[in-house]
Homo-oligomer: A and B are copies of this chain.
Amino acid sequence: MITSTGNAQVKELARLMKKSRAREEAGVFLVEGPRMTGELVADETWKSHMEKVYLSDSRAKRYMEEIPGLRGCRTEILSDTVFSYVSDTKTPQGILAVVRRREYGMQDILGNDPGSALVAVLDNLQDPGNMGTIFRTAEAAGATGILMSSDCVDIYNPKVVRSTMGALLRMPFLCAEDLTAAIKELKSAGIRTYAAHLAGEKFYDQENYVGGTAFLIGNEGNGLRESVAECADCRIKIPMAGKAESLNAAVAASILMYEVSRQKRN
């Protein structure tokens, strides 16, 4: 059992928790809590990506019994104090996994049939809660994947990981250095691209989304960059009553993705 925050492993863990750059250089991300860790070990591919699972002294025995498959992983026990020190949450749940990242390609985010793909394209999205919520809703709405500009909030930020409610482990995503080039690639694959835009010519529900569809969603404060909006086949708007001037980015993405789900069912 590790009982000192001066321990080299603990220091590295704290660094991985806090620094996006450190996580990227190591090619890993951190997952906290029994729920998501349980999902990781239950999935063959993810299980092969587990580097180590850290358990708090007081919960270790329980988790080893309750989470099938945990015994096959490399584990390390931390004293409760040390665990609290590395945890990102106020009330640590006593289990934390270091996981090697998976790499997805354009094929993955389009799914098996590009003719019915649904992709959320995120341009410079900054809020961790919005990013997590979009992953969560995208999965529920039946999206095939997420494409994002490389200047979005770090998808492996612990708050993002948490707020995806596990969707991060199930939803393929691609981070593009050149978002406009990636959007062109989507279009070449036959995906129709729609920019959610205040200056949209049509309301979002006047278009047909039964074929391969991508929605371009902009930054919280500034909306889509013009260079990105220009790539879209069509600009659509979500009508707004009252004096409302915009919608939250995750809300806008959710309304659009669920309109696709609605059309496909009807």
Which A residues fall within an 8 A CB radius of B? 129, 133, 136-137, 139-142, 165-167, 170-171, 203, 205, 238-248, 250-251, 254-255, 258-259, 261-262, 265-266
For residue A6, give the distance in angstroms from its CB to the closest CB of chain B.
32
Are A258 and B261 neighbours in the complex by a CB distance under 8 Å?
Answer: no
Residues in B neighbouring A166, C-beta threshold 8 A: 243
Q: Are A139 and B248 in contact (CB under 8 A)?
A: no
CB closest chain-B residue, reference A246: B165
Most B CB contacts (10 A, CB to CB) among A239, A240, A251 go to: A251
Across the A-B interface, the 5 shortest Cβ-Cβ residue pairs = A140-B244, A142-B241, A140-B240, A139-B242, A251-B254
B residues less than 8 Å from A250 (CB atoms): 248, 251
**CB pair B170 A265 closer than 8 Å:** no
Shortest Cβ gap from A210 to chain B (Å): 15
Please name all residues of chain B whose beta carbon is closer than 8 Å to the beta carbon of A265 when the two chains form the complex. Answer: 203, 205, 239
B205 touches A244 (CB 8 A): no
Q: Which of B133, B242, B255 contacts A170 (CB 8 A)?
A: B242
Contact B139 A247 (CB under 8 A): no
Bound complex: CA A148 to CA B146 (Å): 35
Name the CB-closest residue of B to A166.
B243
In this complex, what residue of B is CB-closest to A118?
Answer: B241
Pull 30 A–B residue pairs with CB atoms less than 8 Å apart, ordered by A. Answer: A133-B251, A136-B244, A136-B251, A137-B247, A137-B248, A137-B251, A139-B240, A139-B242, A139-B244, A140-B241, A140-B242, A140-B244, A141-B241, A142-B241, A165-B244, A165-B245, A167-B242, A167-B244, A170-B242, A170-B243, A203-B265, A205-B265, A205-B266, A238-B258, A239-B261, A241-B261, A247-B254, A250-B251, A255-B255, A255-B258
Which residues of B are found within 8 Å of A129, using beta-carbon distances? Answer: 129
CB distance from A204 to the nearest CB of B (A): 9
Complex contacts, A238 vs chain B, CB 8 Å: 140, 258
| Residues of chain B within 8 A of A266, CB atoms compared | 205
Chain B hits for A240, CB < 8 A: 139-140
Report B-chain residues with C-beta under 8 Å of the C-beta of A165: 244-246
Q: Which residues of B contact A248 (CB under 8 A)?
A: 133, 136-137, 250
Contacts of A139 in B (CB 8 A): 240-244
Which residue of B has the minimal Cβ distance to A129? B129
* Chain B residues whose C-beta falls within 8 Å of the C-beta of A247 in the assembled complex: 136-137, 140, 254
Cβ-closest chain B residue relative to A262: B205
Contacts of A205 in B (CB 8 A): 262, 265-266
User: What distance in Å separates the Cβ of A139 from its nearest Cβ neighbour in chain B?
Assistant: 4
